[in-house]
Chain A
Amino acid sequence: MADLVIKGGTVLDKSGSRKADVAIGADGNISQIGADIDGERVVDAAGCIVSSGLVDLNSDFCQPGNEEIETIESGTRSAVLGGYTAVMLMPHTSPAIHSAAAVKEMQSLRSEALCHIELSGSLTLDGSGDALSPIGEMASLGVRFFAHSNLASLDLSLLRRAMEYSSRFNVTIGLTPFVGGNGHMNEGDVSSDLGIRGVAIEEEEILTYQFVKMAKLTGARVHLQQVSSPKAIEIISGARADGVSVTCEVSPHHFALTDEEVRSYRSVYKVAPPLRTDREVEAIKKLITSGQVDAIATSHTPNPQQEVDLPFEEAPYGVIGLETAFAVSVTELNLPLHEIMSAMSWVPAEIAGIEATHGGVLSEGRPGNLIVIEEDTKWSPSISQMASKSTNSPFDGHQLQGKIRHTFINGEAVVLHGETQR
């Protein structure tokens, strides 16, 4: 008699899909996948898909330093409601995660998390782009991902040195092809009409080219974060074909929304890189559908309410997205669920280096980091009901399809019927 049985669903993983029950043992691992399993506790998954939990590559939970905006607890609560069993946090906190001490402090905060937190380190001290962080020291504490924030530029010589130095430590370098401060939105018809300074999409393409070319030169493994330009994705694909170790991610807001939204003047449409035009959004969707984008990541960025109420040009960049990412992806992309899970669970788990415990093939002995999905359920997110402390969601009130019914972390039911259990 198993401890817990997820009953009546269709199991979906890298190898395919089949109707089966999933049993979880006392150790929190999958004990059996098969037909008609009995268990002490039964969780209903009839008509649903059972799959590995989602893995996010790009979130900010503001702790330490800005706990009034979001915390590990509120952020991970948001994550599990959105079907995430693991979230990789960006290191751009206050202070930045740029030392062994900072890494240790973050590791101790894991006790407050409702799901797995994967840490990343800051590539440079304070994210300044001026000096390297102690990458080796942090890597020996288990950090496998080093990201550079988009708020300070990184000159080519420091970029090269960072890539060369880190290649000894088998880490991945996360780079965003955007430099903050140059403009508030996409340069185009809307920015011309509104008189708001814009950033041309070509700037993203140029930065992307710089990053992949430098990766080729140094042999570094890079992950391009927050790509919004179809041509940039083509540059990345070309580099990959050329032998560069490069992956990339796109955020749901970049394939669901266009710069026309900024005509509402609402800061909830201010992101970095910015929302692009209709033509680019359609092209990005096609590139995702044809498999040229490795991962979908949220770049969940909470902001305090008084900054949400600021005029567009004064507001900070960023939107939250953990609770809506899955549904927006199902709604907007013309993709079978297998491909969506690849982009949101299996591939991100590999990029984050946690494929042993998240994503992957579901089989006996694997940790019970699972979700139960109602693929066809239509629903509408509401910021007043979100677990995030922040309200800057551009999908508030939108009609979406695809809901997470249950979320399991190491075999424990953390979300049941859309409600967190602790």
Chain B
Amino acid sequence: MTSTKHVRGVDDLGKDGILEILELSNHFLEVSNRRIPKVPALRGKTVASLFFEDSTRTRLSFEKAAKRLSADVMNFSVSSSSVKKGESLRDTIETISSMGAEAIVVRHNSVGVPWMITEWTDASVVNAGDGAHEHPTQSLADCYTITRQFGSVEGKRIVIVGDIKHSRVARSNVKAFSALGAKVALVAPPTLLPSSVDNWPVDVIEDLDVAIKEADVLYLLRMQLERQKESLVPSLREYTNFYGLTLDRSQKLQKSSIIMHPGPMNRGVEITGDIPAFPNALITNQVGNGVIVRMAVLYHLLGSGVALAGLHSEGEEDG
């Protein structure tokens, strides 16, 4: 059992940690399919959810995961009075810790915040997104979706399309998919690729029509409307033309391939409106898997005792 206190980035888990979370997720899949999809595993534990960036979907996903484990949830969103304007990040974290949170789930638009926070609290820190840097639980959910579909991530050709440069989902996924042995390819306009992408463990394919034919997984990223304003692409129409999953392009996918998207979708831009309903589009599965995987992450940190790795069983188990 790997000893993890935090899930701030994919590297906090490593390949072994990722595989453990996927294994644990199978158990929570079964729990989620029960009549009463709840276990008392984290009863009495408190999970604080601190979202500096608005995100109903991810916040609710964590909340649902915590509640299915019978944990208590404390919600702090920046707009609410509990996070006063002008109160420093450090003060906020120290307040939350003193209220007894065992885990803090944090989303912030600045890179590095989950790592900074670990200096100021004893709680386990889970990164729900820090700037354009990482979104590890999304990656775990995506690995789980792919594993459920294909049996494993290893050896699969995963093509990620879109604004890689500004995407924390892309960064975490490149790490997680390569750690599990997938062959990752990136397709993006040159302005939306990171400057040092040649040093990443990926292939860069210029033409989506070429990449799509070899893809086992076609992973689409959301194309923000702001990028057009920043002249990173001339227009969204041009983006869709060269990089969007149009109906025509979707015909070029192999029969066994799947389409994924972390949501929310900009229909008509990176993906044509009808496609999410296709049988090979697993976008809604990703949402359900998100809750399951977050249950596994919270249990791994707070319930499986890995944070207490200093204690070992003294020989006898209770029967």
Taking Cβ atoms with an 8 Å cutoff, the residues of A that contact B are 187-189, 191-196, 198, 200, 264-265, 306, 309-314
Q: How close is A53's CB to chain B, nearest CB, in angstroms?
A: 38
Task: For the complex, give the distance between the alpha carbons of A187 and B111 in Å.
Answer: 15
- Kindly list chain B residues whose C-beta atoms are within 8 Å of the C-beta of A200: 195
Most buried by A among B89, B134, B168, B197: B89
- Contact A310-B133, Cβ < 8 Å, known A188-B196, A189-B196, A198-B195: no
- Contact A189-B199, Cβ < 8 Å, known A309-B88, A309-B89, A311-B113: yes
Interface residue from B88, B111, B194 paired with A312 (Cβ < 8 Å): B111
At the interface, yes or no: B90 with Cβ under 8 Å from chain A? yes
Contact assessment for B196 and A265 in the assembled complex, using a CB-CB cutoff below 8 Å: no
Task: For the complex, give the distance between the alpha carbons of A329 and B107 in Å.
Answer: 40
Task: For the complex, give the distance between the alpha carbons of A119 and B181 in Å.
Answer: 61
Interface residue from B89, B134, B167 paired with A311 (Cβ < 8 Å): B89
- Contact A265-B115, Cβ < 8 Å, known A194-B133, A195-B132: yes
Contact assessment for A314 and B166 in the assembled complex, using a CB-CB cutoff below 8 Å: no
- Kindly list chain A residues whose C-beta atoms are within 8 Å of the C-beta of B6: none
At the interface, yes or no: B116 with Cβ under 8 Å from chain A? yes
Contact assessment for A265 and B88 in the assembled complex, using a CB-CB cutoff below 8 Å: no
At the interface, yes or no: B303 with Cβ under 8 Å from chain A? no
Contact assessment for B131 and A195 in the assembled complex, using a CB-CB cutoff below 8 Å: yes
Q: Which residue of B lies closest to A195 (CB)?
A: B132
Q: Which residue of A lies closest to B110 (CB)?
A: A311
Taking Cβ atoms with an 8 Å cutoff, the residues of B that contact A are 88-90, 108, 110-113, 115-116, 131-134, 165-168, 171, 194-197, 199-200
Contact assessment for B133 and A312 in the assembled complex, using a CB-CB cutoff below 8 Å: no
- Kindly list chain B residues whose C-beta atoms are within 8 Å of the C-beta of A194: 111-112, 133
Q: How close is A392's CB to chain B, nearest CB, in angstroms?
A: 15
18 A-B pairs with C-beta separation under 8 A: A188-B195, A191-B195, A192-B196, A192-B197, A193-B194, A193-B196, A194-B133, A195-B133, A195-B167, A195-B168, A195-B171, A196-B132, A198-B195, A265-B111, A306-B88, A311-B112, A312-B110, A313-B112
- Kindly list chain A residues whose C-beta atoms are within 8 Å of the C-beta of B196: 188-189, 191-193
- Contact A310-B195, Cβ < 8 Å, known A195-B131, A195-B171, A196-B131: no
> Mostly helix, strand, loop or mixed at chain A's interface?
loop
- Contact A313-B195, Cβ < 8 Å, known A195-B133, A195-B166: no
- Kindly list chain B residues whose C-beta atoms are within 8 Å of the C-beta of A192: 194-197, 199-200
Task: For the complex, give the distance between the alpha carbons of A195 and B193 in Å.
Answer: 11
> Mostly helix, strand, loop or mixed at chain B's interface?
loop
Task: For the complex, give the distance between the alpha carbons of A311 and B92 in Å.
Answer: 14
Task: For the complex, give the distance between the alpha carbons of A193 and B165 in Å.
Answer: 10
Interface residue from B110, B115, B132, B134 paired with A314 (Cβ < 8 Å): B110
- Kindly list chain B residues whose C-beta atoms are within 8 Å of the C-beta of A311: 89, 108, 110-113, 116, 131
Contact assessment for B199 and A313 in the assembled complex, using a CB-CB cutoff below 8 Å: no
Interface residue from B131, B165, B168, B197 paired with A313 (Cβ < 8 Å): B131
Q: How close is A397's CB to chain B, nearest CB, in angstroms?
A: 15
Task: For the complex, give the distance between the alpha carbons of A191 and B110 in Å.
Answer: 13
Q: How close is A229's CB to chain B, nearest CB, in angstroms?
A: 16
- Kindly list chain B residues whose C-beta atoms are within 8 Å of the C-beta of A306: 88
- Contact A313-B110, Cβ < 8 Å, known A189-B199, A193-B171, A195-B131: yes
- Kindly list chain A residues whose C-beta atoms are within 8 Å of the C-beta of B111: 194-196, 265, 311-313
Task: For the complex, give the distance between the alpha carbons of A96 and B113 in Å.
Answer: 34
Task: For the complex, give the distance between the alpha carbons of A192 and B175 in Å.
Answer: 13
Task: For the complex, give the distance between the alpha carbons of A314 and B130 in Å.
Answer: 13
- Kindly list chain A residues whose C-beta atoms are within 8 Å of the C-beta of B134: 195
- Kindly list chain B residues whose C-beta atoms are within 8 Å of the C-beta of A193: 171, 194, 196
Contact assessment for A309 and B90 in the assembled complex, using a CB-CB cutoff below 8 Å: yes
Q: How close is A199's CB to chain B, nearest CB, in angstroms?
A: 11
Task: For the complex, give the distance between the alpha carbons of A144 and B184 in Å.
Answer: 59
Task: For the complex, give the distance between the alpha carbons of A246 and B88 in Å.
Answer: 44
In the complex, the 8 A-B pairs of residues with the closest C-beta atoms, listed nearest first: A265-B112, A195-B132, A311-B110, A192-B194, A192-B196, A195-B133, A189-B196, A313-B110
- Contact A187-B112, Cβ < 8 Å, known A195-B132, A306-B88: no
- Kindly list chain B residues whose C-beta atoms are within 8 Å of the C-beta of A313: 110-112, 131
Task: For the complex, give the distance between the alpha carbons of A312 and B133 in Å.
Answer: 12
- Contact A310-B131, Cβ < 8 Å, known A195-B111, A196-B111, A200-B195: no
Contact assessment for A310 and B89 in the assembled complex, using a CB-CB cutoff below 8 Å: yes
- Contact A187-B195, Cβ < 8 Å, known A311-B116, A313-B110: yes
- Kindly list chain B residues whose C-beta atoms are within 8 Å of the C-beta of A195: 111, 131-134, 165-168, 171, 194
Task: For the complex, give the distance between the alpha carbons of A149 and B110 in Å.
Answer: 26
- Kindly list chain B residues whose C-beta atoms are within 8 Å of the C-beta of A312: 110-112
Q: How close is B162's CB to chain A, nearest CB, in angstroms?
A: 14
Q: Which residue of A lies closest to B88 (CB)?
A: A306
- Kindly list chain B residues whose C-beta atoms are within 8 Å of the C-beta of A196: 111, 131-133
Q: Which residue of A lies closest to B133 (CB)?
A: A195
Task: For the complex, give the distance between the alpha carbons of A200 and B195 in Å.
Answer: 9
Q: Which residue of B lies closest to A187 (CB)?
A: B195
Q: How close is B164's CB to chain A, nearest CB, in angstroms?
A: 10
Most buried by A among B111, B132, B195: B111
- Kindly list chain A residues whose C-beta atoms are within 8 Å of the C-beta of B89: 309-311
Q: How close is A348's CB to chain B, nearest CB, in angstroms?
A: 35
Q: How close is B298's CB to chain A, nearest CB, in angstroms?
A: 24
Task: For the complex, give the distance between the alpha carbons of A368 and B194 in Å.
Answer: 55
